[in-house]
Structure 1
Amino acid sequence: MVRDPITSESAPSAEEICGALDDPDCRDIIRHLDEPMTAAELNARCDIPQSTLYRKLELLTEATLLEESTEIRRDGHHASKYTVAFSEITIALDEDRSLAARIDRPPRTADERLADLWTEVREEL
């Protein structure tokens, strides 16, 4: 299950974040995501085998470094689109000298806030 980077109650651990960022393929994906893209679009830009690409996308979304949304298409073949879900990551030592991570998120647009509101309304019905 993919965590929603904005509404997730359980934040990823510093180890999960560092593990994703330590992976060269994950860094390549982030580097190429200058706009929302599908896995097929990323596959055309990155030199990563398709099966590996899907595993890396899952790793990045689980670490809440990417946000996954659904692109609705008229033909019924919907596609997941991925965007970078952070603007800055800070790794620090917490009180008990273990690693802690803080992820700064880009501000949400009005459209994104409205979509979140509709999602909450549908969940309550």
Structure 2
Amino acid sequence: MVRDPFADEDQPDLQDVLDALDDPKCRAIVRNLDEPMTAEEISEACDVPLSTTYRKLDLLTEASLLREGMEIRPDGQHASQYEVDFEEVVVALDDDRAFEVGISRVPRTADERLRDLWSEVRKET
């Protein structure tokens, strides 16, 4: 089923966010992602083996810290691109003194939302 990119996402699991942020290679990926990049470009920029890069990208996307989109290429060999999907991560105590995580995001333009929707459709086909 295609995920609705227009819907507000639930906040990710606290442990997923902490695990991703605790990982030095994940932090290096976030630091180097100043524009959308493919896994191969990230691997090269961060000097991390490609197989490791894919594992770190999975950690970061599962924690909702990266957004995966699609780079549409004229030759039909489309590639996933990744970009940072947060401005701020806040870990706080709720009223019951349990930890909770909040992620602030930059509002997406109509073009970005359309691109996200198209990426989700492409994944399903």
The bucket for the TM-score relative to the shorter chain is 0.7 to 0.9
1:72 paired residue number: 72
| SS of residue in 2 equivalent to 1:53 | helix
Is the 8 Å Cα contact of residues 69 and 116 (structure 2) preserved in structure 1? no
2:85 paired residue number: 85
Give the 3 Å change call, closer, same or farther, for CA 48–89 of structure 1 in structure 2. Answer: same
1:34 paired residue number: 34
Give the drift of 1:79: 0.3
One-letter amino acid of the structure 2 residue matched with residue 97 of structure 1: R
Give the drift of 1:98: 1.5
2:49 paired residue number: 49
2:123 paired residue number: none
CA RMSD of aligned residues (A): 2.4
- TM-score, structure 2 as length reference: 0.83
Is the 8 Å Cα contact of residues 69 and 80 (structure 2) preserved in structure 1? yes
Give the drift of 1:9: 4.6
Give the 3 Å change call, closer, same or farther, for CA 92–6 of structure 1 in structure 2. Answer: farther
- TM-score, structure 1 as length reference: 0.83
Taking the aligned partners of 2:73 and 2:8, their CA distance within structure 1 comes to 27
Taking the aligned partners of 1:13 and 1:113, their CA distance within structure 2 comes to 24
Give the 3 Å change call, closer, same or farther, for CA 112–48 of structure 1 in structure 2. Answer: same
Deviations 1:80-109 (A, max 9, x none): 000000000110011221110010001111
Taking the aligned partners of 1:29 and 1:116, their CA distance within structure 2 comes to 21
One-letter amino acid of the structure 2 residue matched with residue 27 of structure 1: R
**Which consecutive residues of structure 1, in runs of 5 or more, have no partner in the other structure?**
121-125
Identity of aligned residues (%): 59
1:123 paired residue number: none
Taking the aligned partners of 2:119 and 2:55, their CA distance within structure 1 comes to 27
Give the drift of 1:6: 6.6
